[in-house]
Structure 1
């Protein structure tokens, strides 16, 4: 691993040396001013730190994609984000996702464990863990920030944060677009948006996305439902009111009804074609969500801005599956989650044109997850055995409340050197409110009314140095935190608690703009020390069931990341990659898939299935990721253009559990995904032919609960868009 890091670092230094020398070259004499302008990259801005800054002069490792970037690269949802951003993996297994950045995020399907990569939509933190399948449409930008975002995103951002910004209304006139798409697997998509200036001070924007698609799978057996068939409908309404240049009021409402028909899967160690499976259980997967956000800002005459961001979200998620992944047994799973989230944030932001700039903020969120009372056959677990049937149910409420205050100051020591200090104090309370765990076969009904509270201060200290107008270097130390919680009761054993997670991150970075604005690069290295990593293992007290415990020793993640965007004439190229390693600290645990025995997480002993996991790789942390995209614009007669594009992504092999047991299917093989696109544009019309996963690589995208979920096969079709 050390040799890989050294080779990559050496290559980056050589690239920098050659590029720096070439940067001094003068343009060819026959280059016109217009050609120079076309070949120059636009500035990329980030807003995640509550003010608009140039990415090339901001001390953060980030991937920022415009709406056009998302469209060109075929990114229509969270799942595809992993193919265009370094150090990012997304495992879509049904109700919820494992979303990890640098191996930190969420790798256990339980609401007891918080997410490690939090997502904001239009300034509002969305449902943590569930409801991650909302499509990307009419998007202005997506900002993926890597590393703990302890100042601005808070306790659920130990791995990073994603900020998704939909397009806002404006006063430029009536404009918009309409798009229709047809593809294989019966795919039909309709999408569009219209911008309407209603008065000189009031504008509206309406957007919609609707899609149907048949299943990728051929399923035999007496299953129920329509697994894999998609029917998706989304609408968004936005209103912008600006009665004066100082006051801005933005109201947005989103509604999504997303029916995925369930997520077909078979056993993790199956050797058959993963798209040809057998099942005898139910299949369903429906997310219905509504979100309203209100963003109000006012700028005083002295340049100070105050801002209020209010959010309300309501969602219902239903999921069922054949839990044994075959027609041989009768194990099924059903879950219904109802979630309601209120949030409020206030900011006070100083003017940008000062030597000392600052931001102050306050945040509050109430997140109530309800598991409604259910009965057979809609139980949480229904497990068949030769001697009888065991049903296992959980119902009740698990509300969480978070309060925080935060701030950041930036001081320009000189025209080149800047010091930044940010901090956030958070207090979170997690409650199990009348949570019942019932085992009818054993006559057990266990009640839990417990509460756990944690408070923590996290933040970031950064030194930023502007070498010249084209080169920026930085170094910082940042911290992140995820609170602990409560396990469900285990038979007559009281519920046990688990502790918080803490991470400290050391990073160095260099960003450069080269070749007169034609090339933009980012290069960074990080070292993250992780304490108290939360995992699900066999319960050390009563090993029949599972509990959440903390890794006793220190987990270390380290690596380097780089990216570049280039534009030379008609060529546009982007590239990104990462090499990393992860090692768990000393920790003893029982693999829940093997014989259960008592096992102390701190002392073991290492015998039988009580294993010392020290040195094992963290789940969903590939050692290497790489992405490359290139397109060439060909000028045709009449002002038309023809643009072929190719995108390639490599995500290295990774383990799906901390036990790193290949014999039990813990290894996800590497995947190499190629997307192709050919676009013809003339005036306001654009016609595109596309192929996603053009080589039709068959790969396993996720493994969960002993089941494997295949990644999407080759999809191709035509896309016609009219702008106005």
Structure 2
């Protein structure tokens, strides 16, 4: 959604999805009657129920990915989980991490948006997960809980949750390790950890990490700027565990992450699609025509937490307090186009190609989030009654900024969303209990009450100045945003341009407000010269020349032409004042029955809610329409089984599910006039004076009810010769069943009014929901006395075709000849990964590994944004390979 704002106003997957069965060096085919119980298969721990239990005993769908298994195939961060868990989609959308699970998710990345899948780091809720990718070091496991988790995990867990669990300190243990890696794209990584005791009752664990690699993007145009997706990241974590008695434990933890590099611009396909070039004909979407300057990313994310556990006589107590501080700062000039034959000719404008490349229309996005959470929980994990009850509180303070410049524009000089005061508070009470009626049958009931409040104070501006010569007969060359340009951002001192308080905004006040939002003009900017003496309608005392064109001729303007006319447009600066309050109840009920100790059947109903919100104001400090929470109700029945099949240890789990998805929130780009009509007409909506009805803003509203259903089957075989074979298969159908007609937000009402109209989306497939998803891995460990231990894993993943927007690529105006610009379909594809390792016999503390991630270099869209001016695509990681050495001291 932040990308939507910018565009609007600026004009292989592998079977790690199933836990690998333990490999036994002495495994042979034997008489099943003499075999040990099937539960001798290694136990995989999951904490979906806020307690440790065997994944096979968990009556629901969850996936556990071990840190070592992820590392074995070159997984670097959270986005690399894309394609590794059936039903899970993770995309880096311009620096914003978007998580979708079984078709439920959110792409609203503004300060008002919330994710639909909750991300946790060691149990702490992250309202903004940017930068958390570099926390993928010294981790024990990643848990993906599929389906609503509203009762126990709470806020915004309608789709499910992702929990990153680091290794914790070990009492009485002295341990340390160091690991170094090199790979393609000049990748270099080093990480290490040390664990040491402090007496008998305390221990500390310290871990550090550094990763850098060159850009995955390559500028193949004449500008020669650096490409996107280069990284230079550092991170550290320290944890102190203190256990003075058997009953009391205290864990203190702090982590720090700094991600720098060139960020994520994506690739805008609008140019080739407008030329009739099929996206499949673009050989490499990361070979682009760059312009202006190299993108620059600086993300700083740190946090601290304290967890106290007390084992009481009647029940246990847990208290967790946390603080997270995130500053995401990114500025870029997006590439003009991917490379294809003839692209440079298509990009050549009136002033020549170099003038096109010298366009410094840039954007800068800043998210500064400070969040605090407190949770007090009482629980008892000893049967026959297992219960948990508690209270949760979260407060998030945000500063949010989005600015852009419109370089070389006669009528558009940029936008600014400057929100210094964005507050969110959420508190909840919950209780959940499981009772064993017999040693085989048990039931669970739970409920959670949540109340959310949100508010925002700030300003939004669209800067439009009519600039030119007399009668606009000549004189372009208006420059803003060139080298050295800096927005004021947080240092802006004027939020309300009506500085004299007379109720109107004069031209002088508009110019003063604009200048207050700029910390420093660029070396070749001239807009500051144009307004040096204030507004100059009809002429200026010393008008600047039409300057800084490559050819000395811009739009046939003579070299001695003068910028003699400059008038600020009024009605484009709006105070943003909004508030929202919502409350809702999540609940669940579940029944479980153990047919045998190794065969479980269950049925459950669970709900989850994603918080509601409000929109930008209609006009200056006008109303900010609200929307209600989304609700997902899951119905699921399943079975989990472990058994011997012809002497082979086997695991086979299956489930069928149905999600009732209510009040789904969609976001359109509507004119003020359309919003007013949508809300009941001018008589129902007060419109502030001087508000342009043609102005287009983003607008979110409850638009649709959908259904999501399917079946999932996963299993594994512990074969002879230490061979493991694991698989997971998901069939998923996600479709809109009842929706209002929604505005076709791929078009802009003030540019294409006949196409930015309301259309039906009934029957459309929900975005990011392939109908078929399959993962499989084949692994083997080969121990030898003479040569040490060899092991390897080969993995394959398949995703059938999927859509990336709710319109499914439909062209309502040209049904028989759809325009390529509206294409949002990603075709089905396979991906393959491989990893191998060797532990030499002379020292089992030494380890060598090699990996190839995405063997066939299958690069596909992870997200697509389509607006009036954009078809911007963000892609999965290209093929990476490397080798590493690890030593444990």
TM-score, normalized by the shorter chain, greater than 0.5: yes
- Counterpart residue number, 1:21: none
- Counterpart residue number, 1:612: 760
**Gap change, CA 1:453 and 1:463, over 3 Å in 2:** same
Counterparts of 1:462 and 1:174, CA distance in 2: 43
Contact 1:94 1:285 in 2 (8 A): no
Counterparts of 1:607 and 1:209, CA distance in 2: 50
1:678 and 2:836 aligned: yes
**1:461 paired residue among 579, 585, 589:** 589
Counterparts of 1:244 and 1:165, CA distance in 2: 25
CA distances 1:306-329 after superposition (whole Å, capped 9, x unpaired): 000111010100122334744756
Contact 1:40 1:567 in 2 (8 A): no
Contact 1:315 1:338 in 2 (8 A): yes
Instruction: Identify which range, 668-677 or 128-137, moves more after superposition.
Output: 128-137
Counterparts of 1:213 and 1:29, CA distance in 2: 53
1:296 and 2:308 aligned: yes
CA distances 1:100-133 after superposition (whole Å, capped 9, x unpaired): 0001122233232210111111121113353343
Instruction: Identify which range, 134-143 or 536-545, moves more after superposition.
Output: 536-545
Contact 2:38 2:649 in 1 (8 A): no
TM-superposed deviation, 1:501: 0.8
Counterparts of 1:129 and 1:488, CA distance in 2: 23
Counterparts of 2:755 and 2:228, CA distance in 1: 42
Contact 1:590 1:597 in 2 (8 A): no
- Counterpart residue number, 1:499: 628
CA distances 1:156-207 after superposition (whole Å, capped 9, x unpaired): 0000001111000012421132111011110010011111012100101011
CA distances 1:490-540 after superposition (whole Å, capped 9, x unpaired): 445532222221111111111111228932232111111111111111223
Contact 2:72 2:836 in 1 (8 A): no
3-state SS of 2:716 partner: strand
- Counterpart residue number, 1:634: 782
Contact 1:382 1:392 in 2 (8 A): yes
Contact 2:577 2:617 in 1 (8 A): no
Structure 1's unaligned 5+ residue stretches are: 1-25, 373-378, 600-605
Counterparts of 1:718 and 1:129, CA distance in 2: 29
TM-superposed deviation, 1:558: 0.9
**Gap change, CA 1:608 and 1:287, over 3 Å in 2:** closer
CA distances 1:356-409 after superposition (whole Å, capped 9, x unpaired): 22111110000111025xxxxxx6233457543241111122211000011101
TM-superposed deviation, 1:632: 1.2
1:438 and 2:456 aligned: no
1:692 and 2:853 aligned: yes
TM-superposed deviation, 1:223: 7.0
1:402 and 2:426 aligned: yes
Whichever of the two has the greater Rg, that structure is: 2
Counterparts of 1:490 and 1:667, CA distance in 2: 34
CA distances 1:396-453 after superposition (whole Å, capped 9, x unpaired): 2221100001110111111111110011100000111x22111232333211222111
**Gap change, CA 1:221 and 1:467, over 3 Å in 2:** farther
**Gap change, CA 1:359 and 1:30, over 3 Å in 2:** closer
- Counterpart residue number, 2:723: 571
Contact 1:324 1:331 in 2 (8 A): no
- Counterpart residue number, 2:537: none
3-state SS of 1:133 partner: helix
**Gap change, CA 1:479 and 1:159, over 3 Å in 2:** same
3-state SS of 2:808 partner: coil
1:473 and 2:608 aligned: no
Contact 2:648 2:719 in 1 (8 A): no
Counterparts of 1:262 and 1:179, CA distance in 2: 26
**Gap change, CA 1:383 and 1:597, over 3 Å in 2:** closer
TM-superposed deviation, 1:544: 4.6
**Gap change, CA 1:560 and 1:586, over 3 Å in 2:** same
Counterparts of 1:468 and 1:325, CA distance in 2: 62
Counterparts of 2:751 and 2:452, CA distance in 1: 32
Counterparts of 1:297 and 1:71, CA distance in 2: 31
1:381 and 2:381 aligned: no
- Counterpart residue number, 1:67: 67
3-state SS of 1:111 partner: coil
The 5 A counterparts of 1:699-714 are 699-704=860-865, 706-714=871-879
Q: Aligned Cα RMSD in Å? A: 2.6
- Counterpart residue number, 1:366: 395
1:216 and 2:222 aligned: no
- Counterpart residue number, 1:173: 173
Q: What is the TM-score with the length of structure 2 in the denominator?
A: 0.73
- Counterpart residue number, 1:322: 333
Contact 2:636 2:658 in 1 (8 A): yes
Is the strand fraction higher in 1 or 2?
A: 1
**Gap change, CA 1:180 and 1:324, over 3 Å in 2:** closer
Instruction: Identify which range, 554-563 or 658-667, moves more after superposition.
Output: 658-667
The 5 A counterparts of 1:231-250 are 231-250=232-251
**Gap change, CA 1:337 and 1:192, over 3 Å in 2:** same
1:310 and 2:339 aligned: no
**Gap change, CA 1:30 and 1:510, over 3 Å in 2:** closer
- Counterpart residue number, 2:651: 520
Contact 2:436 2:442 in 1 (8 A): yes
Counterparts of 1:108 and 1:151, CA distance in 2: 24
- Counterpart residue number, 2:548: none
TM-superposed deviation, 1:137: 1.0
The 5 A counterparts of 1:560-599 are 560-569=711-720, 570-584=722-736, 585-594=738-747, 596=749
Counterparts of 1:392 and 1:203, CA distance in 2: 52
Contact 2:189 2:209 in 1 (8 A): yes
Contact 1:595 1:609 in 2 (8 A): no
Counterparts of 1:507 and 1:485, CA distance in 2: 29
TM-superposed deviation, 1:60: 1.7
1:622 and 2:770 aligned: yes
Counterparts of 2:175 and 2:605, CA distance in 1: 45
**Gap change, CA 1:71 and 1:41, over 3 Å in 2:** farther
Counterparts of 2:190 and 2:57, CA distance in 1: 39
TM-superposed deviation, 1:547: 2.8
TM-superposed deviation, 1:68: 2.3
Counterparts of 1:703 and 1:425, CA distance in 2: 35
Whose RCO is larger (CA < 8 A, sep 6+)? 2
TM-superposed deviation, 1:566: 2.9
TM-superposed deviation, 1:238: 0.6
**2:450 paired residue among 426, 434, 441:** 426
- Counterpart residue number, 1:11: none
Q: What is the TM-score with the length of structure 1 in the denominator?
A: 0.89
**1:536 paired residue among 660, 667, 671:** 667
